[in-house]
Amino acid sequence: MATFGSVGEQLIRLSHSQLPSASLVRSISIDVDAVYRIALILADLQKGQFVYQWALTSCAKANSRRALVELVNRYIDTEGVDIYQNTESIAKVKDLALKDEFPHAIMLYAKLLIWRGENAEAARLLEQKILPYLQTTRKRPPLWEDIKMLDNFDSPWRMYAVAVEKEEGLAGIQRATRRAALEFHDPVAMTDYAISVLETEAINKYEVYESYMSAAALAGHTPACFHLANFYYRTSQGEFTTEAERNAKEREEANAARSALLRRFEPIANWVYTLFNQPMDRQTYRMLAMDWYELAFDKGNSEAGYILAMLFREDGNMEKSREVYNLTAKMGFPNSLSKKSLVEMRDKWEDQTFNPGLPPKLLNLA
């Protein structure tokens, strides 16, 4: 097997002197998948896209599975393409999906089936060949293993839910989302499920929301980190009951149900409970919210950055607030904020008597 350096050199030389060719890419190495992997790395270098495009076409012609899937995905995404026409390349992808059970090909073929309206077949394919093998992870999978191919595809569960919805309606997508969240702990599904719970009349809906949103956030899903931060901040402001308040109410109800003989021991029982169970107070919820805002901001969420800067400012930590504010400005302020409010906040940032509070439109739970 040729070394990374020699493969890279040959790719650069051939891409600037020859048209894409299966034979040329095989002359570099018979392992065309390995050549394509190296081309993917080169794509991030200066002028590397030209080399990558040459390698993509050449490797696809040489039957590199991953290159073929990428090329066909681009093809069907092209405006005006007849997605119902079974071209030779689409037929190859179908074989890779159904015969070889190549995961990336299965994802692409399922996507094509959904677009063609063959939703039941797409759902069946995903349910049998992809969903049972998914594993949750807090880290983005390596480029070569990423089944979404750098977000060229939706998550498998999202695709499955779309297919089921088109086939069975709203009840179908709710069932699919619930299963993805409860059985397979898919971060996106857990986020969607947590949000859907808010639309119910369940007494414990906010506790369920917190449970699944926190699980999705711990799995590294950025929107979940932000929504959870908002939930904790709004809890700190008294909008939702704290764990301590819920537990106190449960103890009151339990005490009320006890016999008169046992009630004389309630003060001791409450003292013991308080000693060994220290639920968070509202200030702690605010601190927890700031931790999640910071994580969401680190993962590129500008809304979290703006809120975090405002909270540091409220705390009187002007140096930290300016730092986060400037970083958020470079990232781009949230589109939901009006230019007028942003200008006013910028001009009065150093005036600590000016405290407009956090913009309500940023504090959404969904």
Average pLDDT over residues 100-114: 95
CATH number of 65-184: 1.25.40
- Does the pLDDT value for residue 163 go beyond 60? yes
Query: Lowest-confidence range among 40-54, 261-275, 343-357?
Result: 261-275
Average pLDDT over residues 81-94: 94
Go through 129-149 and write b for each residue having 16 or more CB atoms within 10 A of its CB, e for each that does not.
Answer: bbbeeeeeeeeeeeeeeeebb
Distance of CA 114 to the CA centre of its chain: 22
The gap between the terminal CA atoms of the chain, to the nearest Å, is: 50
Tokens in use for 123?
């759902």
Check residue 109 and give its pLDDT.
97
- Does the pLDDT value for residue 71 go beyond 80? yes
Q: Which residue has the higher pLDDT, 344 or 154?
A: 344
pLDDT band at 143 (very low <50, low <70, confident <90, very high): low
Check residue 271 and give its pLDDT.
40
Query: Lowest-confidence range among 129-143, 170-184, 302-316?
Result: 129-143
Check residue 296 and give its pLDDT.
96
Check residue 126 and give its pLDDT.
93
Cβ–Cβ contacts within 10 Å for residue 314, how many?
A: 14
Give dist(CA 14, CA 17) in Å, integer.
Answer: 5
- Does the pLDDT value for residue 259 go beyond 60? no
Cβ–Cβ contacts within 10 Å for residue 255, how many?
A: 14
Check residue 243 and give its pLDDT.
77
pLDDT band at 154 (very low <50, low <70, confident <90, very high): confident
Average pLDDT, the chain: 86
pLDDT band at 161 (very low <50, low <70, confident <90, very high): confident
Check residue 187 and give its pLDDT.
86
User: Which has the closest alpha carbon to 242: 276, 277, 215?
Assistant: 277
DSSP letters of 163-224? HHHHHH-HHHHHHHHHHHHHTT--HHHHHHHHHHHTTS--TTHHHHHHHHHHHHHHTT-HHH
Kindly report the CA angle at 153 between 147 and 157, in degrees rounded to 5?
A: 75
Contact 152, 73 (CB under 8 A): yes
Q: Which residue has the higher pLDDT, 153 or 330?
A: 330
**Residue 56: which residues within 8 A CB-CB, separation 6 or more?**
36, 39, 67, 70, 71
Query: Lowest-confidence range among 81-85, 138-142, 334-338?
Result: 138-142
Report if pTM > 0.85: no
Average pLDDT over residues 27-48: 90
Which class does domain 199-249+269-362 fall in? Answer: mainly alpha
- Does the pLDDT value for residue 261 go beyond 60? no
What are the sequence ranges of the domains in the chain? 1-62, 65-184, 199-249+269-362
Average pLDDT over residues 68-82: 94
- Does the pLDDT value for residue 238 go beyond 50? yes
Say yes or no: do domains 65-184 and 199-249+269-362 share a fold. Answer: yes
Check residue 272 and give its pLDDT.
38
